Structure 1
Amino acid sequence: MTDQKEPQDPNDMATPSPVTTRRGVRSFVLRQGRMTEGQKKAFERSWPKYGLTREDGMIDPRQVFGRDAMLNLEVGFGMGKSLAEMAEAAPEQDFIGVEVHQPGVGALLKEIEDRGLENVRIYSIDANDVIDLCLPDACLDRVMVFFPDPWHKKRHHKRRLVQHEFVQRVRHKLRVGGILHLATDWENYAEHMMEVMNGSEGFANTQESGGYSPRPADRPITKFEKRGENLGHGVWDLLFYRTN
């Protein structure tokens, strides 16, 4: 299905089609940036195979990946190295990554090529559109949101991605028992995430104590996380599962 699409122009940092169809407060800002030559070439070679678009409509993951396997969604994969590491470490699972910043998309495509991965697909549009328009209900086994923009100023907290409304829309895409895994290195955002999750219908904490989770072994440590740890910064993981 995806093999027939024309790649987007890698020189167009805004992408030809709108990044989002949603109105109102956005949780991201499109940063300016240019792809490296390596990222650009990887984009040109591999986007037709690994890229998914809003125009594809509601996908059938089994058709997209050619098998029935555990399906993971990462929202905001940055430069893609962590997602590539997870996909390489778990070839029996499938991964869909969402990222609006084109250099990150090019970087992940290069990682896919270098590692010879076949279990990754990419959207380069607003994650809200992916959730609302592209993914069938109860198709996901895990949703990962790692280190989203903390919008640390109080007046900007309304822009934070993790809100009750977002969590409930994610819930319907998870199978019962599926995991929503959040991580942040901002304590205030961690507290906000915990408050949101504790008040979210249909979710329960995987930790019997009701607190934060130890970092799962399959979540790679990013270079920014390592840098933060060296500076004494904390990292908070929250793992909640869908109950109904």
Structure 2
Amino acid sequence: MQHIAIIMDGNGRWAKERGLPRAQGHRAGAESVREVMEACKELGVKYLTLYAFSSENWSRPEAEIKALMALLDRFLDEKGKELDKQNVRLQAIGQIDRLPKSTRDRLTKIQERTKNNDSMTLVLALSYGSREEITASARSIAEAALAGEITLDEITPELFSKHLYTSEIPDPDLLIRTSGEMRISNFLLWQISYSEIVIVKKMWPDFRQGDLFAAVEEYKTRHRRFGAL
């Protein structure tokens, strides 16, 4: 298994059940990120993609958005050196230009610092929406065709994939969603065409290494046919 992608759902509900502010749920979820990263390294997974902030999340209350951006800044400040020490490369996908400049600067700094690390790649999906990504890919290919750089016959699924944010990342083998919700939520729609999906009832702040190992064990029982017999 090369790539695990996770929809980290349930932070807000976790906090609400405990009578806490939603921001507290997001903070509690940071510990789950640490646990999952360690578990993936132990399993030899080369790519871990976390759905950290969707393009739709910009419609949330301003106070919650500020809290999420502050939490992201804190994560980058605290984990930057640690990622480098663990030989983990950091990448980000999404409409990164919509993030606050201070956050973009932090991301750029850590990405540059860790670009040669090769034990695992942590991919943060930030201000990410799959429909927007697919639309941008189609627009890019259309522009190339209009400019005479490619012909219609050259437009293939492989070419299309090369115009996505994830052009240098293998498609996920396994997609995990926490909180029990049965939705994809505009996440990696093209890339998960043949991914196995495991839904976990636990809220993200309660998700631990053992839960990831259990999801991987379930994945191992699946027979991936990729549309064949």
Query: What TM-score, normalized by structure 2, do the two folds share?
Result: 0.37
- Higher gyration radius (CA): 2
* Greater share of helix: 2
Query: What TM-score, normalized by structure 1, do the two folds share?
Result: 0.35
